[in-house]
Structure 1
C-alpha cells in the first residue's frame, strides 16, 4: 500500500469551490469560518482553521483519516464539543446566528429543527428500553408540538419514507430486534422528523455492508433532492463523498489540505495526501462514481 511520510511538508492546497452563489434569497444554512479548536488541558490546537459554507440543497464532504479533526469540527458546529475542548478562533453561524450567542434553551430549540445529525453507531443513540417508533414520536411531540395520535401517524409515515418494510410493525419493535441497517434508517427518520434545514452525517454508513450502505446513500440523496436538505457528509470513504457531495474538504492532522469541487479534487488532486487517498480508493471502483473527464 502506498504510504505518505507523516513528516512530509504541509503542502496546503485549498481550492475554493465556486458552488452556488449565496444571495439574500438563499442565505447559508451553515457558515464555518476559519474555525480553530483547542484542547484546554494540553493547551494544544487540534483543528487549524476550517472553513466552508452550506446552502440549501448543497452537500459538503469532509474526508480524512481517523484523528484528522473531522468529527471534532462537526461536534463544534453542533455545540457538543467534549469537555476541555473549545473553539479558540473563527466563527460558526447557523442560519445567520453566531453559535457563541446561543443560550442552552436556544441550542435545544435549534437541534433537530434547524440542524440535526446522524452518527456511526445508531444503537448508541437509541434507548434500548423504548420502542423505536415511540422514540421518533417523542421527537415529533417535543419539537413539533404534535398530539400523541398525530405523532404516531407521522412516525409511521417517516418509517415508510426511510424505506422500512412494514412500518407499523417496526414502530412497535425495540432496537435490539432490528439490524444495523434498519437502525440507521430509524436514526435518519428521527433526525429529519422535525424537518431540519441541515443534516450532518458523520460516518453514517461506515459499519454497514456495501448493499445497505448504497441504500442509505440513496436515501440521503433522495431527502436532499425532495426537501432541499443541506448535508455535511463526514467519511473516510471517498466513494461516499463522490456519490453525494458537490464540494469536498480533505483534512489531515487537523488541517484542511485541499478544498474544492468534488469532481475537480478527486480527478485532479493537488496535495500529496489527497493523491494517496485517491490511489488507495481506486481499487474499490471510485471512478464509477465520477463522470469521465471531458475530452480536450
Structure 2
C-alpha cells in the first residue's frame, strides 16, 4: 500500500490542482438555489472549478449555503428546494436538471459523499461488510465471493484493522472513527471522480480526525480523486485543501488559494473567521501546512 500522506504536508503547493491543463471534473457557474415554499433564494451565484486531484475547501458558519451547494451537486436537494439558475457541469455533463433515474447512474460511480454522522447512512440491522458488498454487487455486478474480497480490500485501504472482523460487525459495535472509515470505503468502492466530505470529521476526536484527514490525503494522492471538503474548521482546510471558498448568507464572499486566503484575507467576514480560529491554535496549522506568501504581512484588523 502507498505510504500514508503526512497531513501537515503542503497541499497548497500541489501542481495537480492548479495546473491549467489538468482535467476539469466539476464546474459550477453562477448557481442559485431557491426555496419554493418560502420563496427565498438560499444560494446566490456560486461559481468554482475543480480539477482532477484538486482539493477545494468550502467554509462558513451554519446557514451559509455550503452544504446546500454540495447537495445540489449531488442531486439530493429537498423537494421544495431547487437549482433555479446557473449550471453544474460534472465531467462535461450538466447535471443541474437530471432525472432521478439519471442520477442513480451517476451517484457512486462519478461522484460520492461522506457526511458528519456515518451511522445515519448505514443500516443498523445489516452487517457493515454486507452493506458495502451490496454496493459492488448492484453497481458492478460482481459475484458474492468477488464482492466480498473486494470489500475486504477496501476496508484495508481505509486502514481498518482486521477487515474480516469489521466485515461481520453491526454499526453499534463500531466506533465513530471506524464507521466513518466504512462509509469512506463504500463511497470509494466504485472509484468515483469526485468525493464530497461534508463535515466528515466534525463529530470525531482530534486524533481520529487527523487520521481521517490523512486517509483522504492518501486516497487523493494514490487515485487522483478530487475532493470537496466542507467544514467550519479552518484547521481542516489548512491541512488538506488547495483552494478555499468562504461563504456567508448563501454567497461566496472570497475564494482563492488556501495560502492566500488564510494568510491575507480581504473580506471582513473571512478575517473574522480566521481571527476566531486563531485562539484555538490555527497558526500551528498555518505554519506547518501552508507557507506564508513571501513579503506579505498579516493584517486581521
Quick one: which of 14, 21, 28 aligns to 2:24? 28
* Residues 164, 232 of structure 1: alpha-carbon distance in 2 compared, 3 angstrom cutoff: same
- Cα distance in 2 for residues equivalent to 1:52 and 1:40: 25
Question: What pairs up with 1:118-157 in 2 under 5 angstroms?
Answer: 118-157=114-153
Decide whether the 8 Å contact of 1:137 with 1:151 is kept in 2: yes
- Whether 2:263 is the aligned partner of 1:244: answer no
The alpha carbon displacement at 1:107 in A equals: 1.0
Q: Secondary structure at the match of 1:90?
A: strand
Q: Secondary structure at the match of 1:284?
A: coil
Q: TM-score, normalised by structure 1?
A: 0.91
Quick one: which of 41, 46, 51 aligns to 1:50? 46
1:293 matched to which residue of 2? Answer: 292
The alpha carbon displacement at 1:27 in A equals: 2.9
1:267-293 CA deviation, whole Å, 9 max, x = no partner? 001111111110111122212322342
Decide whether the 8 Å contact of 1:22 with 1:28 is kept in 2: no
The alpha carbon displacement at 1:101 in A equals: 5.2
The alpha carbon displacement at 1:251 in A equals: 0.4
Question: What pairs up with 1:60-139 in 2 under 5 angstroms?
Answer: 60-100=56-96, 102-139=98-135
Structure 1 residue runs of 4+, over 6 Å off? none
The alpha carbon displacement at 1:83 in A equals: 1.8
Cα RMSD for the two superposed structures: 1.4
Quick one: which of 176, 179, 184 aligns to 2:180? 184
2:11 matched to which residue of 1? Answer: none
- Whether 2:33 is the aligned partner of 1:37: answer yes
- Cα distance in 2 for residues equivalent to 1:178 and 1:245: 29
Aligned residues: 277
- Cα distance in 2 for residues equivalent to 1:239 and 1:147: 42
1:196-234 CA deviation, whole Å, 9 max, x = no partner? 010000000000000000000000000000000000000
2:259 matched to which residue of 1? Answer: 263
- Cα distance in 1 for residues equivalent to 2:265 and 2:76: 32
- Cα distance in 2 for residues equivalent to 1:42 and 1:111: 29
Consecutive unaligned residues of structure 1, counting only runs of 5 or more, are 1-18
Decide whether the 8 Å contact of 2:30 with 2:86 is kept in 1: yes
- Cα distance in 2 for residues equivalent to 1:169 and 1:124: 22
1:16 matched to which residue of 2? Answer: none
